[in-house]
Structure 1
Amino acid sequence: MIKKRLNPNMDHYEVEAESELLPFLLRVLDNKSRNSVKSILTRGQVFVNNNNTTKHNFLLKEGDIVAIQKNKAAKAASFINMGILYEDEEIIVIEKGTGLLSIASEKEKSLTAYNQLMDYVKKINPKNRVFIVHRLDQDTSGVMLFAKTEKAKYQLQNNWKSIVKERTYIALVEGVLSQPKGIIKSWLKENKAFKMYSSSKQDDGKLAITHYEVIKNNNEFSLLSVELETGRKNQIRAHMEDIGHPIVGDKRYGSQVNPIGRLGLHANVLAFRHPVTKEFLRFESKVPKVFYKKIQT
């Protein structure tokens, strides 16, 4: 088999003898496990003579050119209100849409990011699993990370603060902030209605620290870049209410208006050290256009 260099984003191989596609891929990708190769095929990263195929038994003929996309983002998987940004043997990074639950709730058991990913990995191998390592609120969109092995799960859960190097959100909030940047610090507690609230008393709750900076504003709204130093439940939402600038559309935390038809919070950047390989990875999800429209002057 001759490896050809055509499209720099793909590896190309010329078929020298008739073969089914999966056995061919296992030979040319001999540094990868069988499950990894099957995953590449199932995700739609394989092309034969420029035609995409996911069939394991697709018959290759002598002279055919097999192209394999280098990126690990899933192409063929069909998801509702989410997509895969990156996947390897240990982790999956997704882009979650607003309105989609991270995991099941009393009201919704099946249509969640977790269940969709579980169905997806089990199609590749029934023994495969995914594990929750952090969550996004249902109405928050953006980048979210899952583990695929228990080893990766424990590494991420037990070393989250040292592994995660950047966790930035974009928030559309009500009003104009008096300071262009600042730090909000409090101890967060949960009341009987499961709403988080701040205590100024030291150690009266879980310490929460939020850094913010104004990107742009008009007379009604401000667009903020928000970075978490800690990752508490509803931390940004509670802290924005604390300073009198609740997130647009967040009625639970003090918002009076919802001109964008959704919560004005988006997980923009997640950067971290891979829990197994230690490689530095950074993922960014585009800020919804409707956020920018509301701060146009």
Structure 2
Amino acid sequence: MTVFTFAVEEEQHLERIDTFITAQNEEWSRSQVQIWLKEDFVLVNGEKVKRNYKVKQGDEISVSVPDPKPLEIIAENIPLEIYYEDSDVIVVNKPRGMVVHPALGHETGTLVNALMYHCKDLSGINGILRPGIVHRIDKDTSGLLMVAKNDVAHEKLAEQLREKTTVRKYIAIVHGVIQHEEGTIDAPIGRDKSDRQSMTVTEENAKEAVTHFKVLERFEEFTLVECQLETGRTHQIRVHMKYIGFPLAGDPKYGPRKTIDIDGQALHAAVLGFKHPRTGEYMEFSSPIPKVMEDVLENLRR
């Protein structure tokens, strides 16, 4: 159990207590905080409070966070579409609907579970839950990922991501008709204060985020675009395209209510390029968009 203590400032006076607490740590969700309140893990000035309590200036809030239950990664014989593999790196094509690494609620069936069965030598830099994982893509985004098989490879691949020398191009179907041929979105991304599970363009507690895009094909109410990441923030393409008024088709979090029903955003990591961590040779891989996106495009063309 770890105890965190916070003091309520003047500008936070009369905020709901769950809102106040989630603003203190971006890893804490409102639903999790409400469970802690129900289980009396949250005290105000040493006293229990109800979940609708409104904090007051000068209140001292203590939050006792239970130690996380350890997750055991189970190696699972899940088929992998491997584009390249050697003793340092694996490039895999992740299908839509697959989570990259285990977490509470997704302990099995992940890419990491499949990798653990396929090979035992994965880097340990990101800990036991994310062995080999250098970068991630969302559950319902398909496409190419590079995975490190040892710590030296991991560090060199991660350095390329930091220095923005990797090539990561995505294909997306977006709502609306983009009139210009290409553009760059340079807008910082941070946690959405009103919804801690979402990201948004904001200046507060945000990180630099840059996405380049170009139009590939236009339809009556949609556009097919290629998006190239310069940075790699959580939900970056989804947030940036919504920000400029062209949200991704099928996106349940950032898209409109009336959208294409394909169980998730129409987004595919189509091109991945990087220098091999041992030889320094530039390597680039391409994968076709999944059938569900191809079917949408065929319908739009008709």
Decide: shared fold, TM above 0.5.
Answer: yes
Residue 185 of structure 1 is matched in structure 2 by: 186
1:292 aligns with 2:294: no
Give the drift of 1:196. Answer: 0.5
> 1:172 touches 1:248 (CA, 8 Å); kept in 2?
yes
Q: Which consecutive unaligned segments of at least 5 residues does structure 1 have?
A: 1-76
Matched, 1:217 2:218: yes
* 2:252–2:264 Cα contact (<8 Å) kept: no
In the alignment, the residues of structure 1 paired with residue 299 and residue 171 of structure 2 have an alpha-carbon distance, to the nearest angstrom, of: 13
Deviation of the 1:162 alpha carbon: 3.9
In the aligned structure 2, how far is the partner of 1:128 from the partner of 1:219? 46
Distance verdict in 2 for CA 1:143–1:275, change over 3 Å? same
Q: What is the DSSP-based 3-state SS (H/G/I as helix, E as strand, rest coil) of the residue aligned with 1:131?
A: coil
CA distance in 2 between partners of 1:101 and 1:90 (Å): 23
Q: Partners of 2:122 and 2:219 in 1: how far apart?
A: 49
1:234-266 Cα offsets, whole Å, 9 max, x none, are 000001111111111112102331244442000
Distance 1:128 1:211, change over 3 A: closer
Once the two structures are superposed, the pairs formed by residues 93-112 of structure 1 within 5 Å of their partners are: 93-112=91-110
User: Larger Rg: 1 or 2?
Assistant: 1
Deviation at 1:160, TM superposition (A): 1.9
What do the CA deviations read for 1:54-74 (whole angstroms, capped 9, x no partner)? xxxxxxxxxxxxxxxxxxxxx
Deviations 1:113-141, CA, capped at 9 Å, x for gaps = 1111011113xxxx666511000100000
1:85 correspondence with 2:83: yes
Percentage identity across aligned positions? 35
Cα distance change on mapping 1:90 and 1:167 into 2, 3 Å = same
* Structure 2, unaligned runs of 5 or more: 1-75, 124-130
Cα distance change, pair 212–223 in 1 and its aligned pair in 2 (3 A)? same
Q: In the alignment, is residue 195 of structure 1 matched against residue 198 of structure 2?
A: yes
Q: CA deviation at 1:275?
A: 1.1
- 3-state SS, counterpart of residue 194 of structure 1: strand
Match of 1:136 in 2: 137
Superimposed CA distance per residue, residues 142-169 of structure 1 (whole angstroms, 9 cap, x where no aligned partner): 0011000011011112332447431100
Q: Aligned AA for 1:103?
A: H
Residues 86-122 of structure 1 show CA distances to partners (whole Å, capped at 9, x for unaligned) of 1000001000000000111221111111111011113
Please say which of residues 279-288 and 252-261 is displaced more in the overlay.
252-261
Name the aligned partner's letter for residue 301 of structure 2: Q
- Secondary structure of 2:166 counterpart: strand
* Alpha-carbon distance between aligned partners in 1 of 2:99 and 2:188, rounded to the nearest angstrom: 26
Q: Counterparts of 1:106 and 1:128 in 2: how far apart (Å)?
A: 22
CA distance, structure 1, for counterparts of residue 174 and residue 200 of structure 2: 18
Structure 2 CA distance for aligned equivalents of residues 254 and 106 of structure 1: 26
Give the Cα–Cα distance (whole angstroms) in 1 for the partners of residues 122 and 225 of structure 2.
Answer: 39
Taking the TM superposition and a 5 Å limit, the aligned residue runs for 1:225-244 are 225-244=226-245
Output the CA distance in 1 between the equivalents of 2:261 and 2:95.
18
Pairs within 5 Å for 1:33-52: none
The amino acid that maps onto 1:85 is Y
Say if 2:160 and 2:274, in contact at 8 Å, map to a contact too. no
The runs of at least 4 consecutive aligned structure 1 residues that moved more than 6 Å come to none
- Cα drift, residue 170 of structure 1: 0.2
State the number of aligned residues. 214
Counterpart-to-counterpart distance in 2, 1:128 and 1:220: 44
Cα RMSD of the aligned pairs, angstroms, is 2.0
Corresponding position of 1:29? none
Residue correspondence of structure 1 range 53-92 to structure 2 within 5 A: 79-80=78-79, 82-92=80-90
Mapped contact 1:216–1:295 kept (Cα < 8 A): no
Matching residue of 1:114: 112
| Matched letter for residue 235 of structure 1 | Q
Q: Aligned partner of 1:90: which letter?
A: D
CA-to-partner distance for each residue in 1:11-41, whole Å, 9 max, x for gaps? xxxxxxxxxxxxxxxxxxxxxxxxxxxxxxx
Provide the C-alpha distance between the structure 2 equivalents of 1:295 and 1:144, rounded to a whole number of angstroms.
Answer: 29
- Alignment match, 2:272: 270
TM-score, with structure 1 as normaliser: 0.67
Instruction: Identify the structure with the greater strand proportion.
Output: 1
